[in-house]
Structure 1
């Protein structure tokens, strides 16, 4: 695996360009061979025709006088050897070599070219047939001319090598330009790298795109979006730590004062009273700590640490009511569930969903006076047409609606949004509670893509907390 971007891009360019140069050079070589061969063949044919034109009847017999010009046209710095043969159709040799390396076929009307071996080297040969009349009798004479290939090879090199050099120069120039271009164009990215490397660990300011190329700007934008989310998460964590420290400071101070006071007492009855107060304070701190932990988990409920799966709200609600039945009995509160459906499936985390129901019902039990009534309702309803976030499938158009109704003092309409804030309490100072229950509920509901609203019953007394969650289908094979 090649990790270098320069080398990878260079390979993307080098491989096809090398293939192109190879194919182009092969074509140039073939064209050069054809061109050199054509030039040599034309010279051979011109020489053969010139010699054939000198064949005449002298004293009743054919004779030939080979002109020097017929052979001088082959003169070149390559010093090629030139061979010829003039042969009558009765195998009479008029001139040249008897062992000429070409078998003549007098039936060929067109010049014949061949490249046989002669005296240990290749020879380019042409055979030309001329008609010769003797007192009305048709005779045929064959003129064959051959030349070694040194000049042919020299001409081939002169035609082909410049084209090859141009192709190689073009390839090297492309490689150099790619390396230089990448070095220049990657400078903005390297500047961003240097900026990140020199930053303070706690610096979360967005990156500056500057003169970054259009194709690379989405990377910087994605990093800036991540920085914003990270900054928001850090703000939440800092606020959580500050709120937790503030809320824990007071009960710890009270417990410390009670311990100091108890150390000065000798009366067992008074000491027992102080110990009882310490026990109550410890329980309140335990409850506050648990709520803070639940709030922290609710804020992180979108992470992979809280996997989601189809859950039956009716089944989970029944379990939660069983756990809170003791608290309801101690306060003589009529706690019950009135579901309109046997099953109501949502996609979520079981611990988070149980915590949401626990806080909703516990909040209602805390603020409902003795001999009051708290009712949990579960129903199915069409999803809102606007702003709805539902699951795909047959259940996409439905929501699971969870209502917790009590006949307590209720919450005034002007403060119903504020009760979802952390540590905000709409209760008497001496009434127990941490002010975190509804804040936890809202975080879990939002993480489950749902919504929560508070309203008053039709008779105006008490409170109705309504949670809407997108409905999903039951798991395969259920039931």
Structure 2
């Protein structure tokens, strides 16, 4: 048995965007919001790194300068010679660093003429007095045994019995501790800022998702509508910025509804105005056919009456189609078994004339749906009428009324010539007739059926009949409970 796809699922599939072409508004908003945050964090991290380097350099140079000053203070004359004793306190400055990283420390005390008083002989790449020039103290960067170091230099002028001599004290330290201090000063704040950016982006995504839900609900509302549903959108629940969009869309819907109503009125008025002269013309031809005229004139009158009847059927179909388009989606509770019996009684004479076995398979319990009773009857009448007209003489047409999974089902099955599967979609178009069809008709029967089904929020499907012969047309209408009176 065929089963329908719920209209909500069909609408959701139709509304699904193409990911290859669609541009995500949420992604673009996140990008615009994240870009200044990332730029700010990057600039702030760079400034923090520069500040951390500056502070680490100040601490590093201060320690070196303190040690150099302490060593320089221990230089003195002894028996006409310069002597220096390095106090343990001078190197104790580096004994307990703020970081667990150990550095190499070196010092040198030398005179202006290059005589070494204490410390290392090879000390960096620059001469001692070139590093400070005329100043008494100085700091600079150098290389010691291939490693980068910071150096602090202190120059002291020693006086003894009218003799003077300048002595420079230099203390060097590798930069491992300084680099570790930079990381300690800079990295935690950077991590906190990155965490804040991540939290901000997460909140932005959550906020955009929540704030875009009204748009998605609005899109789902529009997509789930029937093609003829032009009711205005409800702007309640939309943000203030989105309400003008809904208002503009409602104005557009109103213009479409006005144009559609004008066309429907024109069709209805034109069809109604044409029915009266056609009825008069048919009556006049009936009277003329009863006169003593020759056989040729009778044939002409018969053909003219057939044409007027076909035209009258077309006008009636147009009026019914206009009624189906203009009717409300639901109006009353309809019992399908009663409707089916009435339709079969109306078409029994036509079926007998073609020796068609017209029958019904009824459900054990009444089956109810909500809709317009006249339109439901017209829906089933068109299906059965088409089956009787297109089935060969001596065939059979069966109407089945049943219920399944919350749906009220009408199935019309025949053993006629059927419809090719590739033409299933085209037969619901207006004024469509398949090639090779001999039976006269307006080409509006299945179009009217489709219009009524869509109007009632149902579905319709075509399939081959039992054994692959003929045609089975199944209509699903939303099932309703029995009214209280029933």
Range class of TM-score, shorter chain: 0.5 to 0.7
Please state if 1:20 is matched with 2:44. no
Instruction: Report the RMSD for the aligned CA atoms in angstroms.
Output: 2.5
Q: 2:265 aligns with which of 235, 239, 243?
A: 239
Q: CA, structure 1 residues 245+183, in 2 after alignment: closer, same or farther (shift >3 Å)?
A: same
Please state if 1:95 is matched with 2:118. yes
How far is 1:40 from its partner? 0.2
1:319 corresponds to which residue?
A: none
1:323 corresponds to which residue?
A: none
1:85 corresponds to which residue?
A: 108
How far is 1:253 from its partner? 2.2
Structure 1 range deviating more: 76-85 or 14-23: 14-23
How far is 1:266 from its partner? 4.1
| Deviations, residues 218-239 of structure 1 (Å, cap 9, x unaligned) | 1111111112112111211111
How far is 1:192 from its partner? 2.2
How far is 1:263 from its partner? 2.7
How far is 1:201 from its partner? 3.8
| Deviations, residues 273-299 of structure 1 (Å, cap 9, x unaligned) | x99xx9xxx9xx9xxx9xxxxxxxxxx
CA distance, structure 2, for counterparts of residue 209 and residue 231 of structure 1: 19
Q: Pairwise mapping of residues 230-309 of structure 1 onto structure 2 (< 5 A)?
A: 230-266=256-292
CA distance, structure 1, for counterparts of residue 46 and residue 22 of structure 2: 31
Matched residue SS, 1:128:
strand
How far is 1:213 from its partner? 0.8
How far is 1:243 from its partner? 0.7
1:126 corresponds to which residue?
A: 152
CA distance, structure 1, for counterparts of residue 89 and residue 135 of structure 2: 25
2:239 corresponds to which residue?
A: 213
Q: CA, structure 1 residues 254+110, in 2 after alignment: closer, same or farther (shift >3 Å)?
A: farther
2:461 corresponds to which residue?
A: none
Q: Pairwise mapping of residues 59-458 of structure 1 onto structure 2 (< 5 A)?
A: 59-75=79-95, 76=97, 77-101=100-124, 102-105=126-129, 107-266=133-292
How far is 1:2 from its partner? 6.0
Q: CA, structure 1 residues 223+110, in 2 after alignment: closer, same or farther (shift >3 Å)?
A: farther
Q: Retained in 2: the 8 A contact 1:86–1:96?
A: yes
Q: 1:5 aligns with which of 19, 25, 31?
A: 25
CA distance, structure 2, for counterparts of residue 37 and residue 232 of structure 1: 79
Q: Retained in 1: the 8 A contact 2:136–2:156?
A: no
CA distance, structure 2, for counterparts of residue 110 and residue 212 of structure 1: 75
How far is 1:67 from its partner? 0.8
CA distance, structure 1, for counterparts of residue 61 and residue 267 of structure 2: 96
Matched residue SS, 1:143:
strand
How far is 1:150 from its partner? 1.3
How far is 1:66 from its partner? 0.8
CA distance, structure 2, for counterparts of residue 141 and residue 2 of structure 1: 77
CA distance, structure 1, for counterparts of residue 238 and residue 180 of structure 2: 54
Structure 1 range deviating more: 171-180 or 221-230: 221-230
| Deviations, residues 229-272 of structure 1 (Å, cap 9, x unaligned) | 1211121111111111012212222332333333334469xx8x
CA distance, structure 2, for counterparts of residue 216 and residue 64 of structure 1: 84
CA distance, structure 2, for counterparts of residue 169 and residue 46 of structure 1: 39
How far is 1:86 from its partner? 0.4
Q: Retained in 1: the 8 A contact 2:233–2:250?
A: yes
| Deviations, residues 52-87 of structure 1 (Å, cap 9, x unaligned) | 111100111111111111111012232211100001
CA distance, structure 2, for counterparts of residue 247 and residue 137 of structure 1: 136
Q: Retained in 2: the 8 A contact 1:85–1:145?
A: yes
Q: CA, structure 1 residues 2+72, in 2 after alignment: closer, same or farther (shift >3 Å)?
A: farther
How far is 1:10 from its partner? 1.1
CA distance, structure 1, for counterparts of residue 179 and residue 293 of structure 2: 125
Q: Retained in 2: the 8 A contact 1:111–1:127?
A: yes
Q: Retained in 2: the 8 A contact 1:87–1:93?
A: yes
> Any stretches of 5+ residues in structure 1 without a counterpart?
290-479
Matched residue SS, 2:76:
strand
| Deviations, residues 370-395 of structure 1 (Å, cap 9, x unaligned) | xxxxxxxxxxxxxxxxxxxxxxxxxx
2:62 corresponds to which residue?
A: 42
Q: Retained in 1: the 8 A contact 2:112–2:129?
A: no
Asked which structure has the greater RCO (Cα within 8 Å, sep 6+), the reply is 2
Matched residue SS, 2:172:
strand
CA distance, structure 2, for counterparts of residue 266 and residue 16 of structure 1: 98
